[in-house]
Amino acid sequence: MKKEELGFETIQLGHGSGGLMTRDLLDKIIFKSFSNPYLDQKHDGSIININGRIAISTDSFVVSPIFFKGGNIGELAVNGTVNDVAMCGAMPKYLSLAFIVEEGLKVEDFAAIVNSIKKAADESGVQIITGDTKVVERGKGDKIFINTTGFGEVNPKAKIASVHIQNGDKILLNGFVAQHGMAIMSQREGLEFESTIVSDTTNLNFLVNDLINEFGDKIHLFRDPTRGGVASVLSEISQDIHKGVVIYEDKIPLEKQVAAACEILGLDPLYVANEGVFMVIVDASICDDVLNFMKKDPKGKNAAYIGEITQEHPGKVVMKSAIGGKRIVSPLIGEQLPRIC
């Protein structure tokens, strides 16, 4: 989509009016990109047929910058919500899509974001079925914010809930931590490394679904450690279930470059946001099988067992270092990296 074909160069207030300019923007970019029988009705809502247990999740994305190494706010908005639905043990099927655009956004940027949304939605197997576009005056927003709400069918084999977690359960991650946060952060700080750190934004729904199909109710919990990172998710879980968590420092999958970037910026990788990482807590009996299963999938090839649930120190997360030291991993308090997603 070139600005010559579109007939306008920037998003203007009128594009949020609900009048002809809005329709023009929708027709030329949105409806053209996402055409499907639901959206093609062009109404305020959409009607779908659903039966059974449905997982629903919503997220607004305010990441800055909107284009970053490894992705942009558009695919993040799809993958983020797809993954939240997947963490419920469900296969995402539909997304709603709502934009809040700051007046003056280049229409080429908007179109590029929409293209990424389309691509990410196709890759995840979800359809955009309804949406909304608002425009705010220059200086009253920041380029573009995106809300997506996702709906998915819960896998009948899934029995995912923190109440099922038992002492001795094993904790695994599917891959390297802290990549998304450090990609954004090094870009903001203008840091150059030997190779570029790229965001890990990707969909996780297929691997998650395969795991459920393979291991059923022996999988007790999925969580994606986005804002607040692995440390915050583990802290929340240990408090929710009143059990302890032990993790092993040398088992946390961490890419060298990312570790270096964290050190330079004084950030603990355990608190840095991820977008393509999930944690799975499983019955101890299947730990090795889950690890091997994940390693065969491109999205799990760096999977690792990182720790376990314990009856000791309930409500607390303890990290053991390679040389036998112990420290408490406290939950994140305030903001480490604002607008990371």
Q: Which region, left, alpha or beta, applies to residue 281 given φ > 0 means left and ψ of -120 to 50 means alpha?
A: beta
Of positions 10, 33, 36, 60, contacts a second copy by CB under 8 A = 60
CA angle 43–47–48, rounded 5-degree value: 145
Q: Which is nearer to a second copy, 132 or 263 (CB)?
A: 132
Least separation in angstroms between CB 292 and a second copy: 28
Q: Looking only at residues 180 through 219 of this chain, which bind a second copy when binding is defined by CB under 8 A? A: none
Nearest residue to 100 (alpha-carbon basis) of 137, 61, 146, 64: 146
Nearest residue to 82 (alpha-carbon basis) of 64, 100, 96, 67: 96
Which helix (DSSP H) or strand (DSSP E) does residue 294 occupy?
A: helix 287-295
- The answer to whether 265 contacts a second copy (rule: CB under 8 A) is no
- The answer to whether 26 contacts a second copy (rule: CB under 8 A) is no
Strand partners, 317: 245
Strand partners, 128: 95
Q: Which amino acid makes up residue 334? A: G
Q: Looking only at residues 271 through 310 of this chain, which bind a second copy when binding is defined by CB under 8 A? A: 273
In the block, tokens 């990609």 appear at 183
- The answer to whether 10 contacts a second copy (rule: CB under 8 A) is no
- Which residues, other chains included, contact 76 with Cβ-Cβ below 8 Å and sequence gap of 6+? 61, 63, 199, 201, 275, 341
Q: Which is nearer to a second copy, 50 or 328 (CB)?
A: 50
- Which residues, other chains included, contact 156 with Cβ-Cβ below 8 Å and sequence gap of 6+? 52
Stretch that binds a second copy, among 14-22, 119-127, 173-181, 249-257 (CB under 8 A): 14-22
Q: Which is nearer to a second copy, 208 or 291 (CB)?
A: 208
Least separation in angstroms between CB 51 and a second copy: 5
| Cα torsion 266, 267, 269, 270: sign | positive
Of positions 25, 29, 90, 247, contacts a second copy by CB under 8 A = 90
Of positions 11, 30, 57, 262, contacts a second copy by CB under 8 A = 57
- The answer to whether 328 contacts a second copy (rule: CB under 8 A) is no
- The answer to whether 97 contacts a second copy (rule: CB under 8 A) is yes
Q: Which is nearer to a second copy, 55 or 291 (CB)?
A: 55
Stretch that binds a second copy, among 18-26, 71-79, 164-172, 241-249 (CB under 8 A): 18-26
Q: Looking only at residues 145 through 164 of this chain, which bind a second copy when binding is defined by CB under 8 A? A: 145, 147, 149-151, 154
Q: Which is nearer to a second copy, 228 or 307 (CB)?
A: 228
Work out whether strand 90-102 and strand 127-136 pair parallel, antiparallel, or are unpaired.
parallel
In the block, tokens 């807590």 appear at 281
Least separation in angstroms between CB 321 and a second copy: 23
- The answer to whether 109 contacts a second copy (rule: CB under 8 A) is no
- The answer to whether 46 contacts a second copy (rule: CB under 8 A) is yes
Q: Which region, left, alpha or beta, applies to residue 18 given φ > 0 means left and ψ of -120 to 50 means alpha?
A: left
> What does the radius of gyration of the chain's CA atoms come to, in whole angstroms?
21
Cα distances from 181 to residues 46, 76, 193, 339, in angstroms, run 35, 12, 15, 10
Question: Under a CB-based contact definition with an 8 Å cutoff, are residues 282 and 186 in contact?
Answer: no
Nearest residue to 219 (alpha-carbon basis) of 171, 157, 281: 281
Least separation in angstroms between CB 194 and a second copy: 30
Least separation in angstroms between CB 232 and a second copy: 5
Stretch that binds a second copy, among 92-100, 173-181, 211-219, 252-260 (CB under 8 A): 92-100
Least separation in angstroms between CB 186 and a second copy: 19
Q: Looking only at residues 113 through 142 of this chain, which bind a second copy when binding is defined by CB under 8 A? A: 129-132, 134-137, 139-142
Least separation in angstroms between CB 323 and a second copy: 29
